[in-house]
Amino acid sequence: MTTTDTFAVEAEPYPFEFSPATCALLIIDMQRDFLEPGGFGEMLGNDVSLLRRTIEPNRKLLALWREKGWQVMHTREGHRPDLGCLPPAKKVRGRSPTTIGDPGPMGRILVRGEAGHDIIKELYPLPTEPVIDKPGKGAFYQTDLELVLKNRGIDTLFVCGVTTEVCVNTTIREANDRGFRCIALSDCCASYFPKFHEAGLAMIKAQGGIFGSVTGSKALLASLQAREAA
């Protein structure tokens, strides 16, 4: 691969071209707190099993990205142990008897360093893969993600993770405003509400791809294989 190599994948609303040298796989918040019982997701009243279908396609895509030597980054939503970065308005939202910072079966809920805050073992980051800790839903707010992307020469993001309409959507909107090209991988994203997953993807790709593009991991893998066979 040279830095000028370009690829294309079938996508909506039109084929998406990218150069591996300037793209990154950005995996959003695939944390135990969202995907396993006893964490933040369940505390909010959600059925966390609805997100688990994303694990296998993410695992396959991550394996391919690593094999090719392309760039990978991960994010985690969570707060400092002293809760200094937790807005009071976020702490009380949901009116749950247990809230962010309180003890749970996987440690203090949504707190950095606790078991529940960690990324699930199937997608565990390598030491060379930046992990961006974010206090909010968007991965750019109060983080150094933009600086890391700039320093690594990245202009295009393949975005996966949970949940589609919350942290994935917010991050893609933030990235789009900062001039990054985004494509969401539909089967690698999920919501606790299937209709919100569909709506979240529809909002990205509507109006000529107002925030970005959408494809599936199978289409992406197929296009890469076809390219190799050519």
Closest to 221 measured CA to CA, from 69, 54, 10: 10
When asked if residue 118 is in the footprint of ligand TIU (CB under 6 A), the reply is no
The question of whether 134 is a catalytic residue gets the answer yes
207 membership: H or E segment, kind and range: helix 194-209
CB of 230 to ligand TIU, least distance (A): 38
Among 166, 172, 175, 185, which residue sits at the site for ligand TIU (rule: CB under 6 A)? 166
Q: How many residues make contact with ligand TIU (CB under 6 A)?
A: 10
CB of 196 to ligand TIU, least distance (A): 8
55 membership: H or E segment, kind and range: helix 55-68
Amino acid of residue 53: R
What is the distance between the alpha carbons of residues 208 and 16, in angstroms, rounded to a whole number?
A: 12
Across 98-108, b (16+ Cβ under 10 Å) vs e yields ebbbeebebbb
Q: Which of 29, 33, 118, 133 is catalytic?
A: 29
The question of whether 187 is a catalytic residue gets the answer no
What is the distance between the alpha carbons of residues 170 and 150, in angstroms, rounded to a whole number?
A: 20
Residue reference for tokens 């040279």: 2
Q: Of the two residues 31 and 223, which places its CB atom closer to ligand TIU in the complex?
A: 31
When asked if residue 44 is in the footprint of ligand TIU (CB under 6 A), the reply is yes
When asked if residue 29 is in the footprint of ligand TIU (CB under 6 A), the reply is yes
CB of 33 to ligand TIU, least distance (A): 9
Residues at the site binding ligand TIU, with contacts judged by CB under 6 A: 29, 34, 44, 77, 137, 162-163, 166-167, 192
Which residues have a catalytic role annotated?
29, 134, 167
